[in-house]
Structure 1
Amino acid sequence: MEFVLVLLVLLLSSCCEFTYAECLEIRPPRLVVKHGDPASAICTPDRPQRMGWEANKGGGSLSGTELGFLPWAVNRLTDWSIKPVCYTDGGECEKTLDITVYKLPTKVSMSGLPGQMVEGRQYEFKCHVQEVAPVNSLYVSFYKASANLIKTEIGSHPPQIMNTTKEPTSGEYTLQFTPSRGDHGAQLWCSARLELGEEGPQPSPKMESEHVSLNVLYMPISVTPERSLEIKEGDNLSLRCQADGNPTPLYQWVVPQASSTPNTRAEGSVVNVTHIARSQAGNYTCIATNEVGNSTWTVDVKVTGKKDK
């Protein structure tokens, strides 16, 4: 008989624990509040009861009369770990208000960006995020915008969901970046964004670093297609080559040996041959060079019989 009574007590205790917080409802059930802003919620019992709020800010003692609801409010929320608890007379029921207190970073900045970069080399940049909370809602992204303003995310660090620190913290986030010639003139920056859920502000609050323009050095590449050219003996030949490079390339011409005569003149990217002779046929090669490298462009010049007079 005693065993049956003990079992009944355990069952009743289990039932009461299951319904411990169900007799109270808090609206809204979760608050997302910017540090220093006001906050409020309302606790409602399933039936009028004597109630109170236990909190280091905005709390109050047990009410003297039975109430159908009891508000909790603070004018300025500055406690990062506040957990207001609504409770009824005798502790029969209690429920905790879920509060997330957030703060945008004091500053977001980047380091490690040199004045100029070389195409194909790898660089490491860092995004410095100072005094942000909570860190388990922080999403750090690196962005690049091309010269035509097309924005692309090129790296990211998701929230540290296992970090339960409530107070503001600072951190560094890295990006491994290998520039291409298409990145010259683009802008690079990082962004610190707080993903605070549906109850948080929309769109998600964020702060960005200063945008930095990229100066990418790259070797010249000829933008003039190679080709063959036929010209009649005695005509004037003029060839021009063009290459894309940073810094701007310098040009040098390599001409057939017989063309190294007074009637051949090379100036920068242009070579001119006046009254060309058959002996001056062959490959005319333009070499474009800068501090990163060089490229060549060749035209096969064929000289045919003299033009008719």
Structure 2
Amino acid sequence: MAGCPLVVTPAEMVVRFGDPASVNCSTDADVQQMGWEAPVGATSTPGPAVIWTVEKLEDWQINPLCFINLKDTYQCSKKLNITLYKTPDIVSVSALDNGPMVEGTEYHLKCNIINVAPVQKLKVTWYRGNETVHAEVFNETSKVPANVSSTLRVTPVGDYNGEHFICKADLQLGQNGPETDPTVTSSPYMAVVYYAPVFKEGTDNKEVNLGENVTIDCSAEGNPVPKILLNYSSAVNVKETIRGRQKGISITGATSTNAGVYSCDAINEVGRVTRYVTLTMKGKTSPVSSPTIWWLLIILIAVLILIILISVHSYSKKHGQYSFVPDKANDGSEIPMTPQSNGVQA
């Protein structure tokens, strides 16, 4: 009633189910009688104060009422605002879909909160590892304990494999509640996620020196563990390498015949991926020394000059160009030279 000269201390109470409770009601008015009306702890006194006390508060519907009767027959009262709470008996996470999860497919996880009150003060928070992924509050008004649940929709990726999903139930009881909100956390739910293979190295071009050793890594991750298939041209210096469940291609003393495209296929139930490696060869330095090369060039030039001289000489003979040295006759006189023409007498 408005204007009622009653003071209830504290005006609001938050009590854990089964704990004791004690509230004072007082007045400065001239009263004939005052007291508390309640299913448990009811009492009265001539005034000016009266205390309501309960050793174990277990009545979910209780609404204690402090009243006064004034000497002029005026009567008024005030209700105690009381919240009785209970933390959940169980908080657990389960899967609503048959597992394991498959990358890219939506799945649902359920957080079950058993026997909690009041539900309208409850907040459920979902975590993936240390990351908050979802939070939910409830609009129910019931004061008695209830079972509630929260659903988390998950579209997993490969990185979720082995991650822990946790839900935490908090009773947010406000400034009149405990210093720390009562909290119950579920056991971790470990996600098993099937995802397509992923190569540790991508498509690549390798340029190597002749005679160099080469390793092509075909390591891949995936769940289930992928099967690795290798595609390459066989050669005496090429072999497969195996390290645990991983495979690769090893080339010892690479030659020009090893140039080409090598590929690795990784296959599991979710998908198939291929990695390509193109191998090219650099030129190899000639074992012939530099001085030897110069001598070969000199000899080659000399041979070319000789061929040119011989060709010029042959050309001159064919065109009648001769050079004679005069000889002497038997008597010592010089023999006269007579010009010749193509078989015709002068």
Q: What TM-score results when the alignment is normalised by the length of structure 1?
A: 0.82
Tell me, yes or no, if structure 1 residue 76 matches structure 2 residue 56. yes
- Deviation of 1:37 (Å): 0.5
Q: Which amino acid aligns with 1:79?
A: D
Q: Distance in 2 between matches of 1:237 and 1:226?
A: 16
Q: Distance in 1 between matches of 2:171 and 2:278?
A: 62
Whether the 8 Å contact between 1:105 and 1:129 is mirrored in structure 2 is yes
| Corresponding residue of 1:286 | 264
| Corresponding residue of 2:192 | 215
Tell me, yes or no, if structure 1 residue 53 matches structure 2 residue 36. yes
Tell me, yes or no, if structure 1 residue 227 matches structure 2 residue 207. no
Whether the 8 Å contact between 2:219 and 2:248 is mirrored in structure 1 is no
- Deviation of 1:107 (Å): 1.4
1:226-255 deviation line (CA, Å, top 9, x unaligned): 332223444443322322322333322222
- Which of 8, 17, 20 does residue 38 from structure 1 map onto? 20
- Listed as ranges, the gaps of 5+ residues in structure 1 are 1-16, 146-150
Q: Secondary structure of 1:18's match?
A: coil
1:115-142 deviation line (CA, Å, top 9, x unaligned): 5322211111111111111111111222
Q: Secondary structure of 1:166's match?
A: coil
Aligned residues: 278
Q: Distance in 2 between matches of 1:250 and 1:175?
A: 33
Q: Distance in 2 between matches of 1:235 and 1:166?
A: 79
Greater RCO structure (CA 8 Å; 6+ sep):
1
| Corresponding residue of 2:238 | 264
1:53-108 deviation line (CA, Å, top 9, x unaligned): 111111114x2x3x232111100101101111111114522100011111111212
Q: Distance in 1 between matches of 2:282 and 2:120?
A: 77
Tell me, yes or no, if structure 1 residue 29 matches structure 2 residue 11. yes
Q: Secondary structure of 2:111's match?
A: strand
| Corresponding residue of 2:332 | none
User: Which piece of structure 1 moves more, 219-228 or 201-210?
Assistant: 219-228
What pairs up with 1:165-176 in 2 under 5 angstroms?
165-176=142-153
Q: Distance in 2 between matches of 1:289 and 1:91?
A: 88
Tell me, yes or no, if structure 1 residue 155 matches structure 2 residue 129. no
Q: Which amino acid aligns with 1:291?
A: E
Whether the 8 Å contact between 1:126 and 1:175 is mirrored in structure 2 is yes
| Corresponding residue of 1:85 | 65
Tell me, yes or no, if structure 1 residue 138 matches structure 2 residue 115. no
| Corresponding residue of 1:100 | 83
Whether the 8 Å contact between 1:231 and 1:301 is mirrored in structure 2 is yes
Q: Secondary structure of 1:36's match?
A: coil
Whether the 8 Å contact between 1:43 and 1:86 is mirrored in structure 2 is yes
Give the alignment's Cα RMSD to 1 decimal.
2.1
| Corresponding residue of 2:104 | 120
Q: Distance in 2 between matches of 1:275 and 1:105?
A: 69
- Deviation of 1:110 (Å): 2.0
Q: What TM-score results when the alignment is normalised by the length of structure 2?
A: 0.74
Q: Distance in 2 between matches of 1:232 and 1:189?
A: 54
Q: Distance in 2 between matches of 1:78 and 1:285?
A: 72
The structure-2 alpha-carbon separation of the partners of 1:26 and 1:211, relative to structure 1 and needing over 3 Å to count, comes to same
Calculate percent identity across the aligned residue pairs: 36
User: Which piece of structure 1 moves more, 76-85 or 120-129?
Assistant: 120-129
